[in-house]
Structure 1
Amino acid sequence: MSQLGRFILVLVVLFILAGCWNRVELNELWVTAATGVDMMDDGQWMMSYQIIVPSAIASGTGGGTGGSSQPASHVLSVKSKTYSQALSYSNLETSRRIYIAHNRVVFIGKRAAEKGMDRLIDFYLRNTEAREMVNMIVTDGLASDLLKKLLPPEKLQGAAMAELVNKESDILSVFPKVRVYDFVLSMNSDSKSIGVPVAELVGERDHQNEQEAESLNVFKKTSAPLKLALTKLGVFQNGKLKGFLDKDESLGVSYLSQKVNNTEISFPCSEQLGRKMYSSLIVNSAVVKLTPRKTSFHYTMQVGVKINGTLNESTCTKDISKTETIHDLEEQISKEVTRTINEGWAKLQELGVDATGFAERIHRRFPREWRTLENDWDQEFKKMKLDIRVDTRIQRPGLLQKHIGSET
């Protein structure tokens, strides 16, 4: 082909292939930071979208800190029969299209969680914009209520909640984060169970005192009366909410699920004035080894826990520089960890939910027995026993060798 022919061919291709034929401008979209899912009394779903207001963020006045400032986000709620229909119906109430690709967290109301997460999973895996790495949060009430509550000092509650969950998983490990992807894996596992963090509005609001203070022009907010916080762990089986675990029980499940990265352990050291005085250990590493054993006609899980940490606070009046004192503290810590694990295990057996994933371990260790055990695993799980052995090592006791109040 001659050079002229090549030039003409390039021109033809350039005219045919338009580069922006399906473009979407940013000012045509409502970017979503968080979503909420609720089941209403009439059987319909209510989808809530926390949409970002770019002008408020760009101006630096978002969050409602000033008298005339515009919030950094707006919550739009739509009722419909399906999730996708809610997205479509949102165009009847807003001039921009809801865009969920940047969604950071999905809040799930209690009634919706009890109904089942199969629709939510189907939506996130089928929709091309939805991303399965979104964090999941359950609430004991309505998800739409949580979307309207800010998390100071952040302007975007959805992004702040995602960071809160990530930070909690790295520092405390009481309520490890769960993404839609993790939930999908659990629904297709042998145990078909998982625990999801629960967020609630905590605190009490005194409307009368606020009105009196405002009438005197002396009222100025320094702390929100109601705060959004992680409080419990919601346990799911076959995609449906079965019950809740408190902080200690949830931490025990985190040990059994091998999800403890770092945490803090409060343990009793001595008795003073008729009450327990607690000390504190910062856990630098927690290694959990799980070994299933078959005993008679049932199963036992050997739980070996190795903890290394730093003594962060001590009420012990004994000399910590002595080896026997350190050994006593390590023994108390081991007892506290054992108690925490047993509490979480007892609650799971009460609910009959294998949120620890022990079914997978039994399946891998005893594949032949699992063929007959699979259909009756819920009952077998309630009969399963734990053999817990905790080995604690205090790596650094701190600079202070004796308690300040101890006698020399």
Structure 2
Amino acid sequence: MKWSFKILIILIIVLLFTTGCWNRREINELAITLAIGLDTTMDGQYLVTAQVVNPGEVASEGGSGSSSVVIYQATGETVFEAFRKMTREAPRKIYPSHLRILVIGESLAKEGIGKPLDLLFRDWELRSDFYISIAKGMNAEDILKVPTTLEKIPANHLFDTLKVSEKAWSATSSVTLDDLIADLVSDGKQPVLTGIEAFIKGNEEAALSKRNEEMIDSPARLLFDGLAVFDKDKLIGWLNEKQGRTYNAVTNKVKSTVVNISCPKEGKAVLQLLKSKAKVKGKVKNGKPEIDIEFHREYNVGEIECNIDLTKPETIDKLEKIEEQRATKMFEQSIKQVQEEFEVDIFGFGEAVHRADPKAWKKLSKNWDKEFEELPVNIKVEAKIRRIGTVGNSFLKELK
């Protein structure tokens, strides 16, 4: 009996701590939100746009003719208030736990993105693995209202496009919330975000309707273009393509890309970049900071449009030297342009100096923007061509 009584007491205690799913959410009570847009209004409020999945349209095989997503919008003095105001229109609570992409309007980005990001960083229901992009020259709401092809859900289209573009083309960069916050609070590096634009040709009404999805040459397209430069949390300008490629190369974000180079005599050759590694080292000489960058890059020959013999080792050596000179020139010019035009350290050179000489950094960090503007950057590029493709010399040589 004593043992039975003890077991009963233990069971009662365990039951007290077994409360079940007290905070459970039924799926039919939630509006699954895959994309969010943040803008500012004329009177200084936030305009929040939520791209919500239409479950009936996504689940049905043939589709009912309705859109696969629904747009809900609300304004408020804070982002949280705007989200709650959406319940006046949406039959379900906005649920952003599966968020794929956050788009911030350019006007809001220029005012500052720190305050509106606080809710997204603080909310325990929100995962931080979504991508963040800046609507280039337009509002975020305009981006989220464009129907897309290939993917039924525009948010998935944007997420996958940025992911593929980052791997295949080195002028874009996918940034998550954690990455952005880390750059915002860093002493030696400023944030950079990929820009996104909407191109609409012809009839705007047709472009923004479901018919846009059904056309081969759709009149409305979304395009990731340019990298947005920030000073703390405020947008101050845009990098061009060469500057964007340089930024990704220096920060080791390049997965793959292609580059055009001149052949030794005439014509063009195309190299496919397979691997890129940058070693950034900082140093302080006589109180002045300096940066050394060593690039180690590996290539395949992707295309030949000139009369050269790829079977000769000296030809490969010449192509490697040409690429080293091209890359060195582009990196030097782009870094210098960023120093002169933006005067903010987006490359993380301050972090490199901090690692090399923490004591000197304490003094340098007080006026780092000025130091960065005049910072000497020494660049060395090593290019290696590993393979020339499935054939040797081009058949174009035989045609000539």
Q: TM-score, normalised by structure 1?
A: 0.88
Secondary structure at the aligned position of 2:279 is classed as strand
Task: Please tell me the root mean square deviation across aligned C-alpha atoms, in Å.
Answer: 2.5
Q: Is the 8 A contact 2:189 2:347 kept in 1?
A: no
Alpha-carbon distance in structure 1 between the residues aligned to 2:390 and 2:89: 62
The C-alpha deviation readout for 1:67-105, integer Å capped at 9, x for no partner, is x51111111111111011011101111111000111111
2:121 corresponds to? 125
Q: Tell me by how many angstroms 1:270 deviates.
A: 5.6
2:283 corresponds to? 293
Match of 1:146 among 134, 143, 146: 143
The C-alpha deviation readout for 1:317-344, integer Å capped at 9, x for no partner, is 1111112211111112112212331243
Alpha-carbon distance in structure 2 between the residues aligned to 1:299 and 1:330: 31
Given the superposition, is the C-alpha separation of residues 8 and 248 from structure 1 closer, same or farther in structure 2, using an over 3 Å criterion?
Answer: same
Q: Is the 8 A contact 2:284 2:353 kept in 1?
A: no
2:52 corresponds to? 51
Alpha-carbon distance in structure 1 between the residues aligned to 2:177 and 2:144: 18
The C-alpha deviation readout for 1:228-282, integer Å capped at 9, x for no partner, is 111100011211111101222100111111222222222122665xxxx432111
Secondary structure at the aligned position of 1:280 is classed as strand
Alpha-carbon distance in structure 2 between the residues aligned to 1:132 and 1:303: 31
Given the superposition, is the C-alpha separation of residues 79 and 3 from structure 1 closer, same or farther in structure 2, using an over 3 Å criterion?
Answer: same
1:137 corresponds to? 133
> Is 1:92 aligned to 2:88, yes or no?
yes
2:395 corresponds to? 404
Alpha-carbon distance in structure 2 between the residues aligned to 1:330 and 1:227: 38
Q: Tell me by how many angstroms 1:132 deviates.
A: 2.4
Q: Tell me by how many angstroms 1:309 deviates.
A: 1.2
State the one-letter code of the partner of 1:358: F
2:26 corresponds to? 25
1:388 corresponds to? 379
Given the superposition, is the C-alpha separation of residues 3 and 138 from structure 1 closer, same or farther in structure 2, using an over 3 Å criterion?
Answer: same
Task: Provide runs of 4+ in structure 1 moved above 4 Å.
Answer: 4-18
Alpha-carbon distance in structure 2 between the residues aligned to 1:13 and 1:377: 58
2:210 corresponds to? none
The C-alpha deviation readout for 1:20-48, integer Å capped at 9, x for no partner, is 55432211110100100001111110000
Match of 1:165 among 162, 165, 169: 162
1:256 corresponds to? 250
Structure 1 stretch displaced more, 12-21 or 117-126: 12-21
> Is 1:366 aligned to 2:357, yes or no?
yes
> Is 1:268 aligned to 2:262, yes or no?
yes
1:357 corresponds to? 348
Alpha-carbon distance in structure 2 between the residues aligned to 1:182 and 1:398: 37
> Is 1:318 aligned to 2:314, yes or no?
no
Secondary structure at the aligned position of 1:371 is classed as helix
Identity %: 26
Q: Is the 8 A contact 2:129 2:176 kept in 1?
A: yes
Q: How does 1:83-232 map to 2 (within 5 A)?
A: 83-140=79-136, 141-202=138-199, 204-207=200-203, 221-232=215-226
Secondary structure at the aligned position of 2:263 is classed as strand
Given the superposition, is the C-alpha separation of residues 10 and 376 from structure 1 closer, same or farther in structure 2, using an over 3 Å criterion?
Answer: closer
Corresponding residue pairs, total: 389
Q: Tell me by how many angstroms 1:61 deviates.
A: 4.1
Q: Tell me by how many angstroms 1:345 deviates.
A: 0.8
2:211 corresponds to? none
Match of 1:283 among 273, 286, 289: 273
State the one-letter code of the partner of 1:264: V
Q: Is the 8 A contact 1:30 1:98 kept in 2?
A: yes
The C-alpha deviation readout for 1:355-380, integer Å capped at 9, x for no partner, is 10110111111222212111110011
Structure 1 stretch displaced more, 286-295 or 179-188: 286-295
Structure 1 stretches lacking a partner, 5+ long: 63-67, 212-219
